[in-house]
Structure 1
Amino acid sequence: MGYDNYLELGYYRMGRNCYGKDEVEAYRSQVKKDFVPFAEELHERRRQRLGLDKLTFIDNAVYFKEGNPAPFGSPDEILAAGQKMYSELSPETKEFMDFMMENELFDVLGRKTKRAGGYMIYMPVYNSPFVFANFNGTSGDVDVITHECGHAFQGYLSGKDPIREHGDIGMETAEIHSMSMEFFTQGWMEKFFGDRANDYIEMHLEDSAAFIPYGCMVDEFQHIIYENPDMTPAERHGAWLKLEKEYRPHMDYGDDRFFGKGGFWQKQAHIYDSPLYYIDYCLAQTCALQYKVKMDEDYRTAWESYLKLCKLSASDFFTNMLKEVGLDSPFEPGCMKNIVQNLEKYVK
């Protein structure tokens, strides 16, 4: 096909039209230099909170000695709390959530033979979003109400756009809608977690920050292996181990010899079934953290910016839309450093 390797083709397949390999490399360099130390501070805070001598990979998803916060109430009560939350957040979200509930556009209750996972899909014939999930009594149930509803809210708004192609959103843009909604809804977490609402908010920030270095590591690993298709299995494991030291220096695999020798990348299914679709999450999380900073300063102004971004849909290039709504491009020098400077107060 005329390509030197899969990398160039992969970027085209992802529909990336305003940035390429060089911009992504510059972004990852910022993450290593400015964001990894911040993420490591949060891991250290978690280690102290858990009272451990060191964190190992089996502690990755554990944030509190007494267990991670879980929502109270039945699935129907969680949905009702979500409807109440969105009715208070803004007129637009109230209209959206009322539409979703009245038209039974949630299938979130677990049942035998039901497919695993969770997602939002837009049904153009009905001009309607649809949310699919499996509630299981964990904080993930609330994540459906925030993250997937962020996707659905944007889909609901874009359904009113007469130009259908504006709905063909790039993955990095789509994930801003969902990840940012997770932050915009945090003022209502008492409705789901009661007196553990602050624990959930703390856990969510730590999890969001921890993801960016990991996601960049997955992306850089893919760049390495696609540019060097003749690498041996041992060389691929070695490349992963080297990246672990750069992006997750705290990581300890204990007595798991396979992971300890660089095999953890095999656990990341995206590398096999969705090549190069991972940096999108990092770029989106970077923008969502900018909204976190902005909403702490002026919630209403931040919300208006987010609402504008949702309505822009795919009417312009990714970087142009960020500029239009007042967000810094993750590719611009200083973006990650500025975010860290504004989030450091949560570590003190």
Structure 2
Amino acid sequence: MNRIFVPQDFNPDNVALVTSLFQSLLTAEVEPSPAALRNWIFKWSELESVLAEVSSRRYVAMTLNTQDEAAAKAYGDFVENIEPISNEYDDKLNKKLVAHPSFNDLKSEFGIWFKSVQVSLDLFDPRNIPLSTEETKAIQDYQKITGGMSVEFDGSVKTLQQVGAYLERTDRDLREKAWRTVWERRLQDKKPLDDAFDKLFQIRNKIAKNAHCKDYIDYIFLAKRRFDYTPDDCKDFHESIEKLVLPLQREMYKRRAQKMGLEKLRPWDLDVDPLNRPPLTPYKTGEELIEKVDQIFEGVHPQAGKWAREMQAKKLIDPDSRLGKAPGGYQIGFDESRLPFIFMNSAATDRDIYTLLHESGHSFHQFALANQPIFPYRDVPAEFAEVASMSMELIGMSNLKPFYGDDNESIQRSVLGELADVVWLFPWVASIDSFQHRLYEYPEHTAEDRSDIWDEIMSRYDAGVDYSGLEAVRRNLWQKQLHLFECPFYYIEYGIAQLGALQVWANFKKEGPAAIDKLFKAESLGYSVSIPEMFNTAGIKFDFTPKTIEPLVQTVWDEISKM
């Protein structure tokens, strides 16, 4: 993008230079006119975009190889030296913005952002600047723990993700060995992970206290700009899932056990084909995965296919799992370039197809909103951002021939697995979200208390899996969820968004590409409108009450029952 404010030869590591740019924005004499204020806003947005891209690219480099000390140092130095400058000036620039005579004149253009600005002013406390840096570094320490996890299995050193692929094998003894091997390794780091969480928990409670909030829940709902729902709404969601979705999951597990000839399912019986067919092997290499997913998108919507091919051509996807690479998967935006990047850990499984479909949905969102003029409008709330990604999973499963050709049995198995995951997701989201609410309502808890709380929640959402003799694992299953460490309270969004995605999928089944047109139109709005308006533009409802949940879950169950 052409710059109007930041020099082309800008050095993002130069503390004095970065400070001078922010200072020039702060001291600039902005004429009392909407045009002058708008121009000043664009300069500020440009600086934030440049710095955000530097941060994103360094984060990518660090997670691609957690053993790369230079990459870790480059990211750490930026977090420690540069991001605090931006955080410090945010409050000052927000005050300058609100005080400008033309502030109210631009509310129709920037109203959503202006509302966020006011929240930022209310939450800001200079004591939280070093705490935010401390939090980021603590997350980095956590990632070193998880990124270093590997085991000797089946003749070679493997990542836990690679061993996880064995849970689809038909040999039950091998599955059990793989499951136990992974969890024995995880439990070796139980205390380091507990200590990492304790440290992050303490930092976050300090941040909330400094911001004069009742507790961290109060703080995070404001910080996440959850203007459209409350903690009580989340608890209603937990209850609705327990009553409406959990019975379906229990029935599915009961049927699975019957097909497998088992009295009860064990945790290593959940991913294998219940009829003892070998795992689906849809591809061999990461490049093949990318190519065939691109073909899926070309088959469902021309714009989706075009964007997918652009990512392939520009090598904006790193698909393969390898030692030293951080676990998990994500999509991140390079904000100044207006380009997305996908990070994942593929293991040649059918599930990888849906992971790439999911992250590609986020990428399409990045492409769609690229013309939004200011940095804040290109940062969309997860409640809708995840609709963009989850919709592509459900829509993508309608065109699996690039992977399976005319093998309808394999296609049906893949689709059934995806829909089963949809049902599974709701209770897991409710579990993780209710766990967070319980923890942050109880700030004096210990690691043992944490395990007790999780054990209660596991019992509440018990779908019939037998953990006899595995109580230590059951009590610590929460530790595998990186969101609890890296991005607290970022999980209920998946449940809300899944309801939106199911609606998009239902529309696609009736309307075809026209449903995707509406989705992309909503995505192009960025965060220039409220979340309910985004949903409405996409042709769906922002509602997660039983009135919406029950018929959608029934639709999924009807599809599953056909197979």
The alignment's TM-score, normalised by the length of structure 2, stands at 0.57
- From the superposition, tell whether residues 333 and 72 of structure 1 become closer, same or farther in structure 2 (CA, over 3 Å): closer
Q: Extract unaligned runs of 5+ from structure 1.
A: none
Q: 2:236 aligns with which of 26, 30, 38?
A: 26
Q: Note if 1:246 corresponds to 2:460.
A: yes
Q: 2:479 aligns with which of 257, 266, 282?
A: 266
Stretches (4+) displaced over 6 A: none
> 1:200 matched to which residue of 2?
414
Q: Extract unaligned runs of 5+ from structure 2.
A: 1-208
- The answer to whether the 8 Å contact 1:39/1:210 transfers is yes
Q: Note if 1:118 corresponds to 2:329.
A: yes
> 2:439 matched to which residue of 1?
225
- From the superposition, tell whether residues 252 and 231 of structure 1 become closer, same or farther in structure 2 (CA, over 3 Å): same
Q: Describe the SS at the equivalent of 1:187.
A: coil
In the TM superposition, what is the alpha-carbon distance from 1:338 to its structure 2 partner?
1.7
Q: Letter of the 1:311 partner, please give it.
A: S
Q: Letter of the 1:52 partner, please give it.
A: L
- The answer to whether the 8 Å contact 2:499/2:544 transfers is no
**Taking CA–CA contacts closer than 8 Å with sequence separation of 6 or more, which of the two structures ends up with the larger relative contact order?**
1
Q: Provide, for residues 106-152 of structure 1, a one-character-per-residue CA deviation record: whole Å limited to 9, x for no partner.
A: 23245565444432221123221122334331224323431111111
> 2:504 matched to which residue of 1?
291
> 1:275 matched to which residue of 2?
488
Q: Note if 1:257 corresponds to 2:467.
A: no
Q: Describe the SS at the equivalent of 1:108.
A: strand
In the TM superposition, what is the alpha-carbon distance from 1:339 to its structure 2 partner?
0.9
Q: Letter of the 1:137 partner, please give it.
A: A
> 2:214 matched to which residue of 1?
4
In the TM superposition, what is the alpha-carbon distance from 1:243 to its structure 2 partner?
2.2
Instruction: Supply the distance in 2 between the matched residues of 1:113 and 1:243 (Cα, whole angstroms).
Output: 33
Instruction: Supply the distance in 2 between the matched residues of 1:183 and 1:161 (Cα, whole angstroms).
Output: 27
> 1:320 matched to which residue of 2?
533
Q: Letter of the 1:298 partner, please give it.
A: E
Instruction: Supply the distance in 1 between the matched residues of 2:514 and 2:249 (Cα, whole angstroms).
Output: 27
Greater C-alpha Rg: 2
Q: Describe the SS at the equivalent of 1:121.
A: strand
The alignment's TM-score, normalised by the length of structure 1, stands at 0.90
> 1:96 matched to which residue of 2?
307
- The answer to whether the 8 Å contact 1:180/1:288 transfers is yes
Q: Note if 1:46 corresponds to 2:256.
A: yes
Q: 1:83 aligns with which of 294, 305, 309?
A: 294
Q: Provide, for residues 172-227 of structure 1, a one-character-per-residue CA deviation record: whole Å limited to 9, x for no partner.
A: 22111111101111122121134212111101110121011111111112111211
> 2:147 matched to which residue of 1?
none
Q: Provide, for residues 37-71 of structure 1, a one-character-per-residue CA deviation record: whole Å limited to 9, x for no partner.
A: 12222222332333322112222333442243221
Instruction: Supply the distance in 1 between the matched residues of 2:356 and 2:447 (Cα, whole angstroms).
Output: 41
Identical-residue share of aligned pairs (%): 27
- The answer to whether the 8 Å contact 2:301/2:516 transfers is no
Judge which range, 202-211 or 39-48, deviates more: 39-48
- From the superposition, tell whether residues 25 and 257 of structure 1 become closer, same or farther in structure 2 (CA, over 3 Å): closer
In the TM superposition, what is the alpha-carbon distance from 1:289 to its structure 2 partner?
2.1
Judge which range, 160-169 or 205-214, deviates more: 160-169
Instruction: Supply the distance in 1 between the matched residues of 2:278 and 2:323 (Cα, whole angstroms).
Output: 27
Q: Letter of the 1:128 partner, please give it.
A: L
- The answer to whether the 8 Å contact 1:244/1:251 transfers is no
Judge which range, 142-151 or 179-188, deviates more: 142-151
- From the superposition, tell whether residues 226 and 116 of structure 1 become closer, same or farther in structure 2 (CA, over 3 Å): closer
Q: Note if 1:147 corresponds to 2:361.
A: no
Q: Provide, for residues 251-284 of structure 1, a one-character-per-residue CA deviation record: whole Å limited to 9, x for no partner.
A: 3212113135x33333433323322111111111
- The answer to whether the 8 Å contact 2:384/2:535 transfers is no
> 2:367 matched to which residue of 1?
156
Instruction: Supply the distance in 1 between the matched residues of 2:506 and 2:266 (Cα, whole angstroms).
Output: 30
Instruction: Supply the distance in 1 between the matched residues of 2:447 and 2:342 (Cα, whole angstroms).
Output: 39
Q: Provide, for residues 69-92 of structure 1, a one-character-per-residue CA deviation record: whole Å limited to 9, x for no partner.
A: 221344333322222222222221
Q: 1:215 aligns with which of 429, 433, 438?
A: 429
- The answer to whether the 8 Å contact 2:368/2:520 transfers is no
Q: CA RMSD in A?
A: 2.4
- From the superposition, tell whether residues 215 and 85 of structure 1 become closer, same or farther in structure 2 (CA, over 3 Å): same
